[in-house]
Amino acid sequence: MITSFYLFKIEDVNRQLLMIFSSLILTSTAFSQSLEENIQREEKLILELEGTRLATLQKLEQYKLKKIQNDLIKIGFPKSNHGEQVVQHQAMTLGYDEKHEQARWVMHMVLPEIAEGNTSRTNDFREDSLVVTGTAVKADYWYSGYDRGHLAPSAYFRWSPIALSESYYYSNMSPQLPELNREKWAELENFIRDYVLAQKEPVYIVTGPVLNDSLPTMKNEGRENEVSIPEMYYKVIIDNSGEERRGIAFLIPNGNCTYPISSYATSIDVVERLTGINFFSTLSEVESKNIEKQFNQKDWQVGGSKGNVSPINPTTLPKGKINTVQAQYNIGTKSCVCGTVVSTKYSEKSGAVFLNLDKKFPNQIFSVTIWKDARANFSYLPENELKDKKICLTGRLENKRGTPTINITNEKNIEVIEDEF
């Protein structure tokens, strides 16, 4: 009887456990199904939000492109008597010259949005269907020895797939030697980019080749058009955002440019006289005179470039003296090098003084070292006295990690000069 009683109790317990287990399974299954539904619902919501975000971004892009068009019209397209066809795209406007098979000018804006641009290069080089006479084509550049140089850089338009794609029209290309396109031209584009990012305000730019009837054309086999080879390019830039409006221009040869970017700076007036183009045609006469005659480089320097100056024009130097750029071609010789001391450093550890002329570290183009023992020969502290002075130094030129350098042992080897150069 006792055994039967215990067996009955065990069976009862097992039955209850089975019921509890079954209930747990049902509850777990229901909970699992609920989780799956929640996951699917949230995933669907994400897709809907992504679709809304994409549509909003596209609408925002269109608004920004429309504003660019309005702003370019407001400041005025370039005007000339060369008879070029004016072509308006969404992110840029250009004046195409059929005779030279390239634009005389391309006008656009650089927006602070370049900081967020992440659209990949398209490399979809193609003819511009809006140019009624037709543009240059791939065959005109292929195996020519010249790059398809962007006048309006594609890197400025990576915030907009539409603008980026437009930058690959052949109407925006001009034959540039690789040593220009991939070096100094790219450096100039970065100079402008850095300014826009620092100021957080847009700038207006007009870029183009300096064209004339005596220019040669590319002679590669298979070409379909006669594309002129410019000897020089320009960029004119206006910051029209603040109370103190700024203007500057650059003229750069189509070749190997050894001087710092600042050496190619000039005024918009100079470029207008050279090209016969009135770049910002709706500016008042007062505004034009104020903006287009300037080229104060210090206004455009940001970050590490602040305080840099242009090397002295070598044609103004007395015989036997060279500038900081020419120094690289005179390594191993005793030379007299002239420039402006833009930065100094005294090392307490070594007791030496280091000077940089015309450009600061780490982009220095010429440096001077006064070692501890030599510093004792000075009647003044060179790191203090020579700062911001224009000087000429005499000594043997050495190459120190790619930078021309002179070691100065006596203050007699340094001549402080006035602004006669």
- Tens-digit pLDDT profile for residues 81-129: 999 999 999 999 999 999 999 999 999 999 999 888 888 888 899 999 9
Q: Which of 49-53, 69-73, 87-91 has the lowest mean pLDDT?
A: 49-53
Distance of alpha carbon 155 from alpha carbon 324, whole angstroms: 31
pLDDT tier at 196, thresholds 50, 70, 90: very high
CA distances from 122 to 173, 176, 343, 407 (A): 15, 20, 42, 50
Tokens 């007036």, located at residue: 269
Q: Quick one: what percent of the chain has pLDDT higher than 70?
A: 91
| Alpha-carbon span 148 to 173, nearest angstrom | 5
Task: Say how far apart CA 281 and CA 106 lie, in whole Å.
Answer: 14
Domain coordinates in residue numbering, the chain: 1-75, 76-305, 314-417
Residue 410 in contact with residue 402, Cβ under 8 Å?
A: no
What confidence tier does 6 reach under pLDDT thresholds 50, 70, 90?
very low
As a whole number, mean pLDDT of residues 183-190 equals: 94
Residue 275 neighbours by CB distance under 10 Å: 24
Give 249's pLDDT tier (boundaries 50, 70, 90): very high
Topology of domain 76-305 in CATH is Extracellular Endonuclease; Chain A (3.40.570)
Q: Which of 347, 187, 168 is nearest to 260 (CA)?
A: 187
The reported pLDDT for the residue numbered 224 is 96
Q: Is the pLDDT of residue 286 over 80?
A: no
d(CA 77, CA 196): 21
Burial 214-250 (b: 16+ CB within 10 A, else e): eeeebeeeebebebbbbebbbbbbbbbeeeeebbbbb
What value does the mean pLDDT take over residues 212-222? Answer: 95
Q: In CATH, what number does 314-417 get? A: 2.40.50.140
pLDDT value for 121: 82
Residue 279 near residue 291, CB atoms below 8 Å = no
pLDDT for residue 316: 92
**What is the phi/psi pair of residue 167, to 5°?**
-65, -10
Helix (H) or strand (E) segment spanning residue 51: helix 2-75
DSSP 3-state of 314: helix
Task: Determine the average pLDDT of the residues in 368-375.
Answer: 95
Helix (H/G/I), strand (E/B), else coil: 356: strand
Residue 412 amino acid letter? K
DSSP 21: H
Q: What is the pLDDT of residues 60-69, one digit of tens each?
A: 999 999 999 9
- pLDDT score of 174 more than 50: yes
**Which of the residue ranges 132-141, 201-210, 237-246, 346-355 would you say has the lowest mean pLDDT?**
237-246
Nearest-Å Rg of the Cα atoms of the chain is: 33
**Continuous H helices in 242-284:** 268-275
Six token digits for residue 304: 């590490």
Q: Are 101 and 226 contacting, i.e. CB atoms less than 8 angstroms apart?
A: yes
Angle at alpha carbon of residue 262, lines to 107 and 283, rounded to 5°? 35
Average model confidence (pLDDT) across the chain? 90
Reported pTM? 0.82
User: What Cα–Cα distance (Å) separates residue 19 from each residue in 7, 13, 24, 30, 308?
Assistant: 18, 10, 9, 16, 85
* Extended strands (E) in 240-362: 246-253, 265-266, 321-323, 334-346, 353-357
Higher pLDDT, 421 or 145: 145
Does 19 have pLDDT greater than 70? Answer: no
